[in-house]
Amino acid sequence: MAQNQTKYSFIAEEIRKRIMNHAYPLNQPIPDEITLAKEFDCSRMTMKKALEVLVLEGLLYRKRGHGTFIIKSALDADRLQIHNQEVNGFTKLLNGKKVISKVIEFKVIFPTEEIAERLHIEMETPIYDILRVRLVKDEPYVLEHTYMPVGVIPGINQQILEGSIYSYIQDELNLKIASSYKQIRADKATLLDQQYLDCASDDPVVEVEQTVYLNNGLAFEFSRSRHRYDKFVFTTVNIARR
């Protein structure tokens, strides 16, 4: 279990891996809370919380009187699942697959009025201006344009950008990523998309614009990520509360 990782999030991560690796049959419920609690040596409440994480992610659903089942559509192997609660980075999303990050542009600038507003900073505050393309098996998946305040996330360099920025933030700076505000829209492929995502001029692109916050309330990222339409599925889960 990673440092600062809660027990329930560790369990959720382990069960998530099992689901994605088809360790549980799709036409039967997964083991019940009591069985899993014994296996993971935790309380039933902790196990319930771990399973709730996966329900909110759209991997599991509960059927009263019958148990907890895997949502089959969540195992679409051709497209990455991005959930509306997702605050992890792209590398974490790939769950072990090798991600290559190619840095197209990296510099320190002063923000425009719009970027300063999104990051809740003054226009005299220096920020990183980062443009990267993320590849899986040498195939481009997403083009990321990211802005981060230098004072909030110090020490960013080329080596970090070629890996995972979020891993650096959490493991090296010991900062906790808490929440994000996202807007998702469809767009036409731009010249940059065509160049770096291998898009055709008439291909659609899904753009995710987000501001991401640390648990101390500071905004540390404003970004626009351009996703290839054939590589991602965006999932929203709504649960009726009685």
| Residue 19 pLDDT exceeds 80 | yes
Task: Say what percent of the chain tops pLDDT 90.
Answer: 57
Confidence bin at 132 (pLDDT 50/70/90): very high
**Mean pLDDT of all residues in 137-159:** 95
Of 87-91, 132-136, 163-167, 225-229, the least confident: 87-91
Phi, psi of 136, rounded to the nearest 5 degrees:
-125, 120
Q: Could you tell me the pTM of the whole model?
A: 0.68
Distance in angstroms (rounded) separating the CA atoms of residues 152 and 212: 12
What residues are paired with 145 via a beta bridge? 131, 224
Q: What is the pLDDT of residue 151?
A: 96
180's tokens:
């994000």
Of 31-40, 72-81, 97-106, 214-223, the least confident: 72-81
Question: Which tens digits make up the pLDDT trace of 86-119?
Answer: 555 555 555 556 889 999 999 999 999 999 999 9
219-228 and 204-214 strand pairing: antiparallel
| Residue 149 pLDDT exceeds 90 | yes
Q: What is the pLDDT of residue 61?
A: 84
In whole angstroms, how far apart are CA 170 and each of 58, 212, 227?
25, 14, 24
| Residue 228 pLDDT exceeds 90 | yes
Question: Which tens digits make up the pLDDT trace of 21-49?
Answer: 889 988 899 999 999 999 999 999 999 99
For 172-190, letters b (16+ CB in 10 Å) and e give eeebebeebebeeeeeebb
